[in-house]
Structure 1
Amino acid sequence: MRAVILDLDDTLFDDTACTHAGLRAVAHAHGLSVDPAELFARHAAHIRAIDPLLFRGELTAHGARVRRFTGLLTELGVPDADGEAATVTYREAYREHWQLLPGAADVLRDLRAAGLRLAVLTNYVREVQGQKLAHFGLDALVDAVLCVEDVPAAKPDPRAYHAACAALNVTPAQAVMVGDSWEKDVQGARRAGLRAVWVSRLATPAPDAGVPVVSRLPDLPAALGVQVLTRG
């Protein structure tokens, strides 16, 4: 192993917590009484429907948000849904709650200190993901950042992982992909010839017993077989 490639959202950055915060703010602003899990699921469905337009360059990140909140509020019965205003409300709350998953920066430092090359490979646009990485200084801890615009196709297409390997000057057999999505970060990577570690915050057993699972980032070096210096 010479390199580790990591997903960003819900692997290093707590996107789920930020999204819940943004949706709570939108629901409060519109007087909506919706179960948080249902609201999260409905919002995620709109993201899945609209993201292809964003990735093809037909919408900006802001335009994609306006469209999804217009659709989401309309679906929830809000009259004259104002997607622009909802987007502002959502983004303010989302940004206010920005946070890394515990241990994210330390793990990157430990892996670098062990001599490994590091990349972030994310299925979202640089306009958004670059801000997150820079805000927390993670961009300075990795050798490459590949967003959806930087690869021939998004994960789980093999070309995404191969592009990350090329950026790190390693072969797929020399790299490990780490992420929270079983399909996009584990299965896709393994089909592309990489090894993988699944980040499962609920400690859910892996569908394939051959894949290491970590529920917290400080356990990642051990799962990779990397020894790190004891802190403190």
Structure 2
Amino acid sequence: MDDVEFVYFDLDDTLLDHEHAERTALADVRDRYRAIFGTLSVDELQEKYHAINAPLWRRYADGEIEKDTVQHQRFARLLEAVDAPHADPSLVGRYYMQRYAAHWQFIPGARRAYESIAENRPVGIMTNGFAEVQAQKLDQFPTLRERADAIVVCEETGVLKPDPQAFAHATEEAGGEPNEILYVGDSYRSDVEGGQRAGWRVAWFSTRAGFASRVGRN
């Protein structure tokens, strides 16, 4: 890494454990609305939620729909999927977000890695998450903001990863050349492919397998 001048980190499922917070929040939703979701295990509920949420997020990332559509439709469709179309998706969605925030935490070892690298190189955060939610996370874990030399919340730039414009903006914020930037992220499409197309080096991180044995450079 001697010729890496700047290290960007993704936020969700790279530094903070989004998967844990999501799963635990869905378990809380199941317990709160047991008359609606009580016949499902947490695994089954999460599987249904993912099947609905992931395509919506991809369409949002591609600029096809607005974030309000994602926020409403993921719970409206989930309620339809469990034969409860007359329940209020806004109420369920708000409760989910409250519980999701209550379960935020660092991925084990992530804080130490982030702070250690920040002692030796400029670091930054680049995230696709909803701007208001990511701001709350950065407020809750102040070391992330305090150590960062650049924070790019892609929604605020008008484009999301893997759009090249998002990476061009982040490159400008870092103040260096693309091939001097290393990006650590968990999404192969958004982080690895997006970073490589931008000329960045990438380290693919998975909470299931740790750092993958591939660091790409263009």
Instruction: Place the TM-score, normalised by the shorter chain, in its bin.
Output: 0.7 to 0.9
Structure 1 moving runs of 4+ over 6 Å? 54-57
2:24 is the alignment partner of 1:21: yes
Deviations 1:78-105 (A, max 9, x none): 2512112212321222122111112333
| Cα RMSD for the two superposed structures | 2.4
1:86 counterpart residue number: 92
Question: What secondary structure does 1:211 align onto?
Answer: strand
Q: Which amino acid aligns with 2:173?
A: A
State the Cα distance separating 1:48 from its structure 2 match.
Answer: 3.5
- Any residues of structure 2 matched to 1:155-166 within 5 Å, and which? 155-166=161-172
Q: Which amino acid aligns with 1:176?
A: L
- Any residues of structure 2 matched to 1:1-232 within 5 Å, and which? 1-31=4-34, 32=37, 33-51=39-57, 52=59, 58-60=66-68, 64-114=70-120, 116-137=121-142, 138-203=144-209, 206=212, 210-211=214-215
Provide TM-score, normalisation by structure 2: 0.83
State the Cα distance separating 1:107 from its structure 2 match.
Answer: 2.0
Contact conserved, 1:26 with 1:90, CA < 8 A, in 2? yes
Q: Which amino acid aligns with 1:40?
A: Q
Structure 2 unaligned residues grouped into runs of 5+: none
State the Cα distance separating 1:2 from its structure 2 match.
Answer: 0.3
Provide TM-score, normalisation by structure 1: 0.79
Q: Which amino acid aligns with 1:211?
A: V
State the Cα distance separating 1:168 from its structure 2 match.
Answer: 0.9
Structure 1 unaligned residues grouped into runs of 5+: 213-232
Residues 1:58 and 1:188: Cα distance change in structure 2 (over 3 Å): closer
Aligned mates of 1:190, 1:35 — CA distance in 2: 39
Q: Which amino acid aligns with 1:170?
A: G
Residues 1:64 and 1:200: Cα distance change in structure 2 (over 3 Å): closer
Question: What secondary structure does 2:104 align onto?
Answer: coil
Contact conserved, 1:152 with 1:159, CA < 8 A, in 2? no
State the Cα distance separating 1:68 from its structure 2 match.
Answer: 1.9
